[in-house]
Chain A
Amino acid sequence: MGKDKLIPILALIIIGIGVSSSVYVYATHIEKSTITINDHEYTLDEIFYLANSKTVNTSEGIKTGVSLDNLLLKIGIKCPSCNEYTIKAADGYQKTVTWEMIQDGILTKEPRVYFPSYPRSFWVSDVIEIEIKEV
C-alpha cells in the first residue's frame, strides 16, 4: 500500500482511538460524594471534622485544607512511614506518594490534594480514594 492511501487510513485509526478512549473515559467516570481511605468511606465533613486544618502557599496561591499526615494518623494508620499512598481521582488519574510527601500535603474541600514542594502532576483533583499499601 502506498503512502497516499496509508496516511489517511492511519489518521482514521487515530481518530478512532481518540473517540473510543473518550467514550471509555466518559463511561467509567466515577461520581462520588465520599472519599475512600483505607477501605472506609468518609464524607468531606467527617474528614474536616477529624483532622487539623493547614494553610499552604502554592504556585496557584494560598490553599487551606486538612493536613494529610494528620488525617491519616487520626483514622488510625499504624507505622505511616511503612506504607505507600495512592491518591486516585474520579477520571482514573492516580499518583503514588510516600509518607514524606504526605507530610507536605493538604486535602481541600474541592476535593483536591496539594503538595506545595512537589510538581503539579502530584496535585490530584477530584479525589475519590486514598489507597494505603504496605511496602
Chain B
Amino acid sequence: MEDKMRFLTGMILFGSLWGFSETIIGSRLSDAGLPSGIIMTGFFAIMLLVLSRIIYKAPGMQFGMGLIAGTLRVFNPCVGCHLCSALAIMAEGVLFELIWYRLSFDDALLKKTINQVSMGVITSYIIFVGGYIVTQILTPMISGPGFYLENLIVFLPRILSSGLPTAIIGGLVLPATYKLSKLNIEVKDRLYYPAALSISMICWVLVIVNWLILVS
C-alpha cells in the first residue's frame, strides 16, 4: 500500500513537472524562435523520465507520467492542436516504456558511461521521432480532412533528420541525470507526500492561470 502511494505520488509529481515544462517553458522557447520540440524532448522529457525510472524503478510509471503531462498540455492555447500535442506526449511515455522495458531492474548496465550516453541517444531519438510521427498522423485525422500516407512518407527524411539534435542532447543529458539520481537524497514520508503534492498543484495552477490569461 505504501509503495503504491509512493508510486502514484511520484507519477503525479514527475508528470506534472513534465506537463508544466512542455506548456510553459516549451511555449516560451517556441515564441523566442528556438526549436522547442528538440529541447523539450532532449532535455526536459529525458531528464524527468529517466530520473523517475531510476529513482522509483517502476515500469508503467512513465506511461502514467505521459498521461498526466499530456492532460496538462491540453491547457495550452495553441489553436486546434491541443489534443494532438497531448497525444504526442502520451506517445512519448509509451515509447519510453517500450525502450526501457526490463532495463530499470538492470542497474549494472547503466553504470558504464558509454551505455548511459548510448541509452540517451536511443531513447531521445526514438521518443522524439515517434512523437513527431504520431502528431503528423493524428493532427489531420482529428482537425483536418484526414491522414494522407504520402504526406508522411515524403516528409519522413526530414523527421528522421530532425531527431539528430535531440539524440545528441539526450546523449549528454542522460549521464548527467544518472549522476543526479545517485546523489541519494532521502526525503522522509512526512515531507515527501506534502512536498510532492504541493509542487504538482503549483504546476497545475500555473498552467491553468497562464491559459486563462492567454484566452481572456
- Are A and B a genuine interacting pair, yes or no? yes
Show the binding face of A for B, using Cβ within 8 Å. Answer: 3-4, 7-8, 10-11, 14-15, 17-19, 21-22, 24-25, 28, 58-59, 84, 86, 91-98, 101, 116-122
Q: Are A119 and B139 in contact (CB under 8 A)?
A: yes
Residues of B within 8 A of A8 (CB): 114-115, 118
Residue of B nearest to A29 (CB): B158
Show the binding face of B for A, using Cβ within 8 Å. Answer: 77-81, 84, 106, 109, 112, 114-115, 117-119, 121-122, 125-126, 135-136, 139-140, 143-145, 148, 151, 154-155, 157-158, 160-161, 163-164, 167, 171
Q: Are A92 and B157 in contact (CB under 8 A)?
A: yes
Residue of B nearest to A10 (CB): B122
Q: Are B81 and A14 in contact (CB under 8 A)?
A: no
Q: How far is the CB of A109 from chain B (nearest CB, A)?
A: 19
| Count: A-B pairs, CB below 8 Å | 107
Q: Are B80 and A118 in contact (CB under 8 A)?
A: yes
What does DSSP make chain B's interface, helix, strand, loop or mixed? helix
Q: Within the complex, which residue of A15, A86, A120 is in contact with B167, where a contact is CB–CB below 8 Å?
A: A15
Q: How far is the CB of B84 from chain A (nearest CB, A)?
A: 7
Q: Within the complex, which residue of B143, B158, B163 is in contact with A119, where a contact is CB–CB below 8 Å?
A: B143
Q: How far is the CB of B206 from chain A (nearest CB, A)?
A: 20
Q: Are B161 and A11 in contact (CB under 8 A)?
A: no
Residues of B within 8 A of A3 (CB): 106, 109
Q: Are A15 and B151 in contact (CB under 8 A)?
A: no
Q: Within the complex, which residue of B136, B139, B145 is in contact with A101, where a contact is CB–CB below 8 Å?
A: B145
Residue of B nearest to A26 (CB): B161
Q: Within the assembled complex, what's the spacing in Å between the Cα atoms of A18 and B167?
A: 9
Residues of B within 8 A of A96 (CB): 140, 145, 148, 151
Q: Within the complex, which residue of B112, B119, B161 is in contact with A24, where a contact is CB–CB below 8 Å?
A: B161
With A7-B119, A119-B139 known, 5 other A-B pairs at CB within 8 A are: A8-B114, A15-B121, A92-B158, A94-B154, A97-B145
The 9 A-B pairs at the shortest CB distance, nearest first, are namely A18-B164, A11-B118, A119-B81, A21-B160, A22-B161, A21-B161, A119-B80, A11-B121, A21-B157
Q: Are A92 and B143 in contact (CB under 8 A)?
A: no
Q: Are B79 and A14 in contact (CB under 8 A)?
A: no
Q: Within the assembled complex, what's the spacing in Å between the Cα atoms of A19 and B117?
A: 17
Residue of B nearest to A88 (CB): B154
Residue of B nearest to A2 (CB): B109
